[in-house]
Structure 1
Amino acid sequence: MKKRTRFILVLAVLAACFWFLWPSISWYVRTPKDQQSLALGSLEKIKDYTTLKAKEEVDALISLAKENPDSVLDDSYGYLVKAAKKNYKEAAKVYKSAGQEAPAVPSVMTVSAVLNSFSMSYDPSGAIQSVIEGKYRDEILKAKKRYNSSVKLGLDLSGGMNIIVRADLDAALKAQNPDEVTDEAQFKKDAMAQAIETLTGRIDKFGLTSPVIRQQGEDRIYIEIPGAADSESVNTIIMGKGILNFRLVDEDATAAFNSYYAANAANAFTADGKLRDPSVIPEDCEVMGLYQKDDYGLDERIAYLAVKKAVALDGKHVTKALVTADQTTNQPEVNFVLDSEGADIFATFTAANVGKRLAIVSDDKIKSAATIRQAINGGSVSLSGGFSVEEAQNIQKILQTAWLEVPLEVESQQVVGASLGDQAIHQGMMALAVGLLLVLGFMLMFYLGAGVNAVVAQILNMYIMFSVLSAFNLTLTLSSIAGMILTVGMSVDANVIIFERIKEELRAGKSRAAAIVSGFDNAFWAIMDSNITTFIAAAFLTQLGTGSIQGFAVSLSIGVCSSVFTALIVSRLMFDFQTDVVGKKNMSISWRVK
């Protein structure tokens, strides 16, 4: 490989590693501790905080305007001043269209001028509170996104959440045809295995790394999620009650309920959510809320619909779902595929109900209600209706993940404090730093100037390892740190082999440039053989091991690859730079060889 090619390759790798590492740097270094605490909370807590904070800000601004209306807002309110200027411009358009003189945009945005700009809206206090709330919401949600893209600390370092989930095996058994179940014990065993497999796939799908999932007793599942103790992780995994189905919307019953609700909104439902006067709708119907995601990603009820109690189609028949774009309108639509049994059921049902709306129900919430335009045969179904991309993706996620044949419920969840986490992090990092310093000190003392190359290579080696952990959102545990410490000791092996080969060539009377070329060429296969065998062993451990063994093997695998790169590419480039650019003729590589 030519020197220019090696140089470009090293630059590309370093740039890519910085790109991968940036989310972790942003989270652990650039994000304030108080913002981290907020970002690690649930979306409900974030919403409560931003709503309260916005109300406090509005009250403070109103008080300030009463005391000193000409006071100028400081730079922290720049976003609010920008919104106020936009309000004046929008108001000017309205006044102009009405043939009236528009209010002038103030040259200095005082607190009274800012508040006056929002008074032009229908709901002045609500409008300014919405802007302030949006500012805090965006900051916290961006921080939450940074956390999700960064290296996570394992349960042994950061704490996390322990969850015990109960699988309702009896309900699953009752849902089966009694003639098809010959061995109840075997059925329950298979059902538990399926539930664990489903949960494992669901956790992987939502990006939760290095979880522990195992069976406890006959019908309990133990889940350990490292990192943020966020109750939404549980809701995401379990997806409520985990039942998805399709039901027909009764338009007449919906209209009747809406009329009743308009007159009795405060007393329409009992404390447990039941309709207080069931006679409002037919006996074969029930009222459910139609939900969509709000700005926080939470379900927000936008309407009520009356749907038939009879399930038209179970979600278990859905085999695949994806988001596509309509070829004519280019609007997002959701396509899903049914199994053969579901295709027959759906074809018969849609043929009999053309023109009516079909609701997708998950956890007693209506996620979507689309009109049946024609009989749908073949099991390939398309949902459209002016969805946004986010709405379409939410429906896709529901169709893909919301069905569990074994009903699950969270029996208990416990936050595990990282009482020893700080101490473990300190001791692990101290061991890593001391080990690195001792190894590098030895290389400098024994190999003199050439040892500097080894020092740089080892520092870049650690940099690459952390970058790869960040790139794949892997979890850093004590066992991972142990793998890194072992890598530090092993990775200098390649440098030692190269340096010893170069010393042999120098003793044979070769020049610096010739000794470097021969040394790297002769050391190449010795380095590759030893590292390939180590990588094979580590790779098998990553596949066959679990828990701490897997964490150790993953960090060792990454370290083996990065150490080979730094020894053969980075170190060689440094030697060539000193020879060809700096113009060194002699080699500082040993006390006895010059």
Structure 2
Amino acid sequence: MSKRFRLFIIVLLLAVGAWFLSPTVNWYFFTSPQNQKLASYSLEQIRDLAISTAQSDLKNLQDLYAKNPSAPVPADMSFLIPVAKRNYASIKMAVPTAWTLNDLFKAFVSQDDFLNAIEDQVRNDAFHYKSMKAKIMQLGLDLSGGMSIVLKADLNALQAKKGHILTTQEKSDAIGRAIDVLKSRIDQFGLSEPTIKREAGGGNKIYVELPGDVDPDRVNAFLRGKGSLTLNIVDEKATEAVNQWIAQNPQSVNPVTNAVTGIPADVLPAGLELLNFYKKDRFGLDQFVNRQVVKTDDKNVLDGTHIQQAVVSRDPVSNQPVVDFMLDGVGANHFAQMTQANVGKTMAVVLDNKIRAGARIQEAITGGNVQVTGFDSKDAQDLAVTLRTGALPVSLVVQSYTSVGSTLGRTAIQAGVNASIWGLVLVAVFMLLYYKGAGINADVALLINMFLVMAILGVFNMTLTLTGIAGLVLTVGISVDANVIIFERIKEEYWAGKSPATAIDIGFKRAFWTIMDSHVTALIASLFLSLLSKGAVQGFAVTLAVGLISSLFTSLFVSRLIFDFEIDVLKTRKLAITWRKM
């Protein structure tokens, strides 16, 4: 392999590493604390911020307009100009070359249009920073502080309710659905940016890590909930009667939850239930649409326990996402009878006591194959997972709480950073003092090694923990150790009277298998440790494994290229690798 090609490989890896590491560097060093905080907002917090910001910004613009309509658009409001240009184009008006406040206000038909444009900007900014944060190397719970929770899914109860032994896929889907529900509720309760993962090896435990200051009462609130899915027939006459009663009794409606209380039994008799119909708004939050009364007796309800398979496909006519699911034998017979008895009526898809979609029954549906429409791609995928698991409530038992103070997190970060820097500096100085000019070779390889390790950790969005920092420090020693072995072999050959080029060639050949044996054995140990362990030990093992692979590359590939460059390009006649006079 030529030196030019080897140099190309190294430069390419460094460029790719810089690309992968740039989101992390940009986030921690060039993103303001205010924007970092924005990325941790819940969807409700983003909506509230967008509304308040839009009202405040519009009021400021109106005040400026009242003073001087010909004033230029403020720089911080320039994001409105592209929207205004599109509005001008839609009504075929000439687009101004220099935008004034008067031009800007002409572009919006109503105040609501103005507010929506500003709200969209705030929402897009928040989602942008959320997306940025999803691509960076995250700090672990021990560095950022917060709460760690261990939950156990009661699969025995789920098996008893299904009435058969759960397959591996059913267990995986059920726990996956539980994790999805937890993520949704954590965001709803304002507990943002969680780390929720299943126990390694397919166990029935779920690990929840909530960075930052977390209120245990709020954690208990979202853990208590349980999910469910049913297909219910809508009673349209009862829906009309209940809505008429609500219109006459508006005080019965809770303005926050949209719940209705005090409905008399003659309006909403037994066997019927009033549910709210929700759709996702532009912030991804549930938007109240209307209220519908559904039947709850057995002959008008299909429970999610009967759903066996669910996949997402596309409607051949509209190309819209649809969810196709298959029922078991009992469910297929029940659904056929239910749809045959309710042709022309509406069937509601009820998730967690909220109506998510509805469809008019055109004919009896037999065979156990059912198709549900009315969802976008992401919601269709989510519904498919829900249908596969039957949306059964999987009981989650809290096994342990562990709280880590934010002060401890900051102290751990500072201690870890200091340890890494001092370890790197002292090792680099030692190599320079002991191996003279060759020490520069080792230090360059060491820096490249650390850079590649951080880039790999960043591209896979791995979480950096305190033990992970320990793995980085150990990587420094392992990387230098490989260079020490190589340098000692080169010195032996050089002392024996070999030329610099021959000493380097033989030295690398003699050191190759020693370095390979030590790195491979350590790599096997670290891989097993990462697979069989969890938490802090796993973080250490993963970081060490990445460091070992990178160390092999830098010690055998990068260092060799630097020596070859010194001999072949710089035409060095004497190696600066030892204090011993030759």
Instruction: Give the shorter-chain TM-score range.
Output: 0.7 to 0.9
Q: Distance in 2 between matches of 1:507 and 1:68?
A: 85
Paired residues of 1:213 and 1:224 also in contact (CA < 8 A): no
Q: Secondary structure at the match of 2:407?
A: coil
Q: Which moved more, 1:319-328 or 1:438-447?
A: 319-328
Match of 1:331? Answer: 320
Q: 1:167 to 1:153 in 2, by over 3 A?
A: same
Cα distance, 1:393 vs structure 2 = 3.4
1:529 matched to 2:517: yes
Tell me, in whole angstroms, the C-alpha distance in 2 between the residues paired with 1:230 and 1:330: 44
- Paired residue secondary structure (1:510): coil
| Partner Cα distance (2:277, 2:234) in 1 | 11
Alignment pair present for 1:315 and 2:300: no
Q: How much has 1:230 moved relative to structure 2?
A: 7.9
Unaligned runs of 5+ in 2: 165-170, 187-192
- 2:227 maps to amino acid: G
State the Cα RMSD in Å.
Answer: 4.0
Residue 88 of structure 1 and its aligned partner are, at CA, apart by: 2.2
TM-score by length of 1: 0.82
C-alpha distance after superposition, 1:418-458 (max 9, x if no partner): 11222211111101110111111111111122211211121
What SS does the corresponding residue of 2:107 show, helix, strand or coil?
helix
**SS at 2:277 equivalent:** strand
Mapped pair 1:445 → 2:429: no
CA distance in 1, matches of 2:533, 2:100: 64
Letter in 1 for 2:355: I
The equivalent residue for 1:61 is: 61
Aligned-pair CA distance for 1:501: 1.8
Query: How much has 1:66 moved relative to structure 2?
Result: 1.0
Tell me the residue number matched to 2:458: 470
Partner Cα separation in structure 1 for residue 135 and residue 224 of structure 2:
23
- Alignment partner of 1:579 is 2:555: no
Aligned length: 559
Rounded Cα–Cα distance in structure 2 between residues aligned with 1:157 and 1:493? 29
Is the aligned partner of 1:538 residue 2:522?
Answer: no
State the 1:246 CA deviation: 2.2
1:478-497 equivalence runs, <5 A: 478-497=466-485
| 1:74-153 to 2 correspondences below 5 Å | 74-92=74-92, 105-118=95-108, 121=109, 124-153=110-139
Hey, what does 1:245 align to over in structure 2?
230
Cα 1:450–1:364 shift into 2, 3 Å: same
Rounded Cα–Cα distance in structure 2 between residues aligned with 1:235 and 1:88: 52
- Measure how far apart 1:399 and its partner are: 3.5
Q: Distance in 2 between matches of 1:407 and 1:77?
A: 49
Paired letter, 2:528: F
What do residues 218-258 of structure 1 show as CA deviations (whole Å, max 9, x unaligned)?
Answer: xxx99641435689x96998695222222223344444445
- Tell me the SS of whatever aligns to 1:420: helix
Q: Provide closer, same or farther for how the CA distance between residues 201 and 368 of structure 1 changes in structure 2, counting only shifts above 3 A.
A: closer
Asked if 1:155 corresponds to 2:145, the answer is: no
SS in 1 for 2:274: strand
In 2, the alpha carbon distance for the partners of 1:402 and 1:556 equals 41
Residues in 2 aligned to 1:46 and 1:411: alpha-carbon distance in whole angstroms: 33
**Cα distance, 1:381 vs. partner?**
3.7
Q: In the alignment, is the contact (CA less than 8 A) between 2:194 and 2:211 conserved in 1?
A: no
| Distance of 1:456 and 1:419 partners within structure 2 | 35
Residues 409 and 550 of structure 1: CA distance in aligned 2, closer, same or farther (over 3 Å): closer
SS of 1:419's equivalent? helix
Alignment of 1:413-452 (within 5 A): 417-452=405-440
- Equivalent pair of 2:148/2:209 in contact (CA under 8 Å): yes
Which of 263, 266, 274 is the equivalent residue of 1:287? 274
Q: 1:125 to 1:411 in 2, by over 3 A?
A: farther
Shift of 1:417: 4.2
Q: Which residue of 1 aligns with 2:285?
A: 298
- Whether the 8 Å CA contact 1:41–1:229 is kept in 2: the answer is no
Does residue 550 (structure 1) correspond to residue 538 (structure 2)? The answer is: yes
Tell me if the contact between 2:158 and 2:392 (Cα under 8 Å) persists in the aligned partners: no
Is contact 1:160–1:416 with CA below 8 Å preserved after alignment? yes
Give per-residue Cα distances to partners, 1:376-408, cap 9 Å, x unaligned.
Answer: 5555543234x4324423433544578244445
The residue that corresponds to 1:14 in the other structure is 14
- Check whether the contact 2:147–2:403 (CA below 8 A) recurs between aligned residues: yes
The range that moved more, 315-324 or 131-140, is: 315-324
Letter in 1 for 2:115: Q
Query: CA 1:3–1:324 in structure 2 vs 1: closer, same or farther (change >3 Å)?
Result: farther
Residue 416 to residue 430, structure 1, CA distance change in 2 (3 Å):
closer
Specify whether residues 419 and 305 from structure 1 end up closer, same or farther in structure 2 by C-alpha distance, changes over 3 A only: same
Question: After superposition, what is the alpha-carbon deviation per residue over 1:502-526, rounded to whole angstroms, capped at 9, x for unaligned?
Answer: 2223233333333323222222211
Distance 1:421 1:157 in 2: 4
Larger mean CA deviation between 202-211 and 525-534 belongs to 202-211
CA distance in 2 between counterparts of 1:415 and 1:430 reads 25
Residues 209 and 474, structure 1, Cα contact 8 Å, conserved in 2: no
- Distance change >3 Å, CA 579–CA 149, structure 1 → 2: same
Task: Decide whether the 8 Å contact of 1:356 with 1:372 is kept in 2.
Answer: yes
Amino acid across the alignment from 1:245: T
- Are positions 1:71 and 2:71 aligned together? yes
Superposed counterparts of 1:350-429, under 5 Å: 350=339, 352-372=341-361, 376=365, 379-385=368-374, 387-399=375-387, 403-407=391-395, 417-429=405-417
Which of residues 263, 266, 269 in structure 1 aligns to 2:253? 269
* In 1, Cα distance between equivalents of 2:506 and 2:271: 86
Residues 432-441 or 285-294, more deviating: 285-294
Question: Aligned partners of 2:363 and 2:8: how far apart in 1?
Answer: 59
Q: CA contact under 8 A between 1:41 and 1:230: conserved in structure 2?
A: no
Q: CA deviation at 1:340?
A: 5.4
Q: Select between 21-30 and 551-560 the one with higher mean Cα deviation.
A: 21-30
1:352 shift after superposition: 4.7
Q: Which amino acid aligns with 2:263?
A: D
